[in-house]
Structure 1
């Protein structure tokens, strides 16, 4: 990647006292309203509430309630629900369905989002996620095992005055799941491990960010969330790492300045044409203590060109404009190692889920 250009403005994680005052939140004190409606759904804004789970019967489930698709935020409120269900036999059931604005309600006091008869509601600890979208049904209870967390204010700000932002709140970094899911009336009931976060912003993500990796997982006594965002060239290709590691439900590491990110074994995905790291690794160094968290890809469960999901005239316009965004989701192994000096004192592995969101064009 060439870096011999001059950055026109900055990108950073907002974490100064002035930032906390600007967004009206307290340091290390997350309130239920932060998981409530944070935008008005108008043109130029977007917002979504996300859930995913690894289920004990081998299924994997993703449910997202959106005020609109984030690849097309220049439209008014257009609520949608996205579902990615991987059945135990590997069969994939995907849905992305728009609803009319009058079907959408959401509270600003806490997470209580309703799109038609579909519900996503909770209080930073226990959540109900329930609905049926084009034959895929879900009835989920998520109970937090790790407290809600955010990196500083949770707002990434862009521009010389930080006027544009992307915000992120991991409301349930890890939780116990009780789920009944079904396809065309054939249901299964099981348990598992899940996650919920909340995202919103006031500027097109493809304008701000070139691509990001995002991952979560649990192994042994540890649970982890990690992300590495690369800003667009106009923001200096800034690299914005995020890392949260908890042990037995208690935070042990979350200082992003102590993170080193590596992307190894790169290949070009045949569907999207994007470069992908077969292995992604985050190393957290704190004095003599070091944590190394490595995700190794085994299976792709999604590889989508975003332009293919845009509907109507916008689809043609996006392709004519050269919009080349892509979304990839992987499963594989997560490994957590803890070192004291050069001695490895802990080593755990388990299955994990992660994604690559790629807004910009692939760079050499």
Structure 2
């Protein structure tokens, strides 16, 4: 009888073992280096073209992507990213979202082989197949062929209105592990020709481009982050808070940038006179076991500026285990992660909101709009 009970328990014990092993693989070892206040600050305030070029070398664990989003005058939203990651070997892909004014959403991904891609170290010059992302910090061209994206194609010209921005060197390190971010175009004019279902549409709007890279999987550095980019009249705002992994100290690292065409008005990084407040808990979007997440963020500086960001309409919400960018030869990983997640609290999601922005500066209030992103890595 005792032997039969043990036999019946074997499948459960096996699943628990797989769960523990996969989650350890996902989150990293127990001994990890904390973040510290001493962060890289050697490059100086002027961003160089090479900083938007290739920054990784192809080592295991590295990741890098070039991102663009735009809100066009017809109410449509477009996002694309050219991605390079190296979990075991190099993986290259382009992801894109298009939300048209009628509420239709298109999400597509396309993978590429090693011989189909090119990256320059001198400037942003990335190509994958016939698709490309090129620029020099002032002007960019982005092209997706409709042959790769189920009849959707787009040709974009982006002209920057502001100088590039990065907090210090843009690199946040914990020991030898790091994640980096460069807002190459904090705000610009985006003009696009869109091919959709055989028809061509010309639109114009507000565009943004940033560049991210690092040498370790993001979930081994962070629990989650919130990020926002938007504008109100002459002002452009980029706001973020990085919440580091408990194994890395469990710190919150806020970032706030505000500028117009003449000056950078706010440039705060870390706890340098910057405070954050969250409200409007998100309900009925995530699984019940998910930790609380919020769609309203207020940032307050010691100089009295108040920036209020409030997510309104969800324009993208993805279970990251279902949307994970893995080619066929790594497809076996996802079922294991999904099974493991049922026995743990890990439930990574990515959510993007069309958002309202309110600025309170010198007793004057300005209204605006933007995009709020929540990256929940665990």
With the length of structure 2 as denominator, give the TM-score of the two structures: 0.84
Query: Counterparts of 1:51 and 1:14 in 2: how far apart (Å)?
Result: 30
Query: Counterparts of 1:74 and 1:212 in 2: how far apart (Å)?
Result: 22
The alignment status of 1:11 with 2:18, answered yes or no, reads no
Summarize the Cα distance change of 1:229–1:98 in structure 2 as closer, same or farther, 3 Å threshold.
Answer: same
Please, which of 243, 248, 252 is the counterpart of residue 261 of structure 2?
A: 248
Q: Secondary structure at the match of 1:173?
A: strand
Please, which of 317, 320, 332 is the counterpart of residue 355 of structure 2?
A: 332
Please, which of 282, 290, 293 is the counterpart of residue 276 of structure 1?
A: 293
How big is each residue's C-alpha offset from its partner over 1:313-340, in whole Å with a ceiling of 9 and x where there is no partner?
Answer: 121122234252110000021111113x
How big is each residue's C-alpha offset from its partner over 1:110-160, in whole Å with a ceiling of 9 and x where there is no partner?
Answer: 0000000001000011000011232221111111101001000100111xx
4+ long deviations beyond 3 Å: 6-9, 12-15, 271-274
Contact 2:162 2:260 in 1 (8 A): no
How big is each residue's C-alpha offset from its partner over 1:230-276, in whole Å with a ceiling of 9 and x where there is no partner?
Answer: 00001111111111110234201102212111111213342455433
Summarize the Cα distance change of 1:206–1:41 in structure 2 as closer, same or farther, 3 Å threshold.
Answer: same
The alignment status of 1:227 with 2:246, answered yes or no, reads no
User: Aligned-pair distance for 1:108?
Assistant: 0.3
The alignment status of 1:319 with 2:338, answered yes or no, reads yes
Structure number with the higher strand fraction is 1
Structure 2 stretches lacking a partner, 5+ long: 1-29
User: Aligned-pair distance for 1:7?
Assistant: 9.8
The aligned counterpart of 2:274 is 259
Query: Counterparts of 1:259 and 1:76 in 2: how far apart (Å)?
Result: 40
Contact 2:228 2:238 in 1 (8 A): yes
Summarize the Cα distance change of 1:282–1:269 in structure 2 as closer, same or farther, 3 Å threshold.
Answer: farther
Query: Counterparts of 2:257 and 2:135 in 1: how far apart (Å)?
Result: 22
Summarize the Cα distance change of 1:13–1:268 in structure 2 as closer, same or farther, 3 Å threshold.
Answer: farther
The aligned counterpart of 2:226 is 213
User: Aligned-pair distance for 1:109?
Assistant: 0.4
How big is each residue's C-alpha offset from its partner over 1:148-204, in whole Å with a ceiling of 9 and x where there is no partner?
Answer: 01000100111xxx2000000000011111111232322211110011000000011
Contact 1:271 1:303 in 2 (8 A): no
The aligned counterpart of 1:351 is 369
The aligned counterpart of 2:162 is 146
Matched positions, count: 333
Summarize the Cα distance change of 1:98–1:178 in structure 2 as closer, same or farther, 3 Å threshold.
Answer: same
The alignment status of 1:201 with 2:214, answered yes or no, reads yes
Query: Counterparts of 1:89 and 1:297 in 2: how far apart (Å)?
Result: 20
Please, which of 80, 83, 92 is the counterpart of residue 79 of structure 1?
A: 92
Please, which of 31, 43, 50 is the counterpart of residue 60 of structure 2?
A: 43
Query: Counterparts of 1:120 and 1:249 in 2: how far apart (Å)?
Result: 27
Contact 1:14 1:156 in 2 (8 A): no
The aligned counterpart of 2:322 is 308
Contact 1:12 1:240 in 2 (8 A): no
Query: Counterparts of 2:107 and 2:34 in 1: how far apart (Å)?
Result: 37
How big is each residue's C-alpha offset from its partner over 1:28-80, in whole Å with a ceiling of 9 and x where there is no partner?
Answer: 02110000000123421000000001111100010100013xxxx41321111
The aligned counterpart of 1:3 is none
The aligned counterpart of 1:294 is 308
Query: Counterparts of 1:198 and 1:64 in 2: how far apart (Å)?
Result: 9
Contact 2:52 2:211 in 1 (8 A): yes
CA RMSD across the alignment: 1.8
Q: Secondary structure at the match of 1:11?
A: coil
Query: Counterparts of 1:321 and 1:173 in 2: how far apart (Å)?
Result: 39
Between structure 1 and structure 2, the one with the greater Rg is: 2
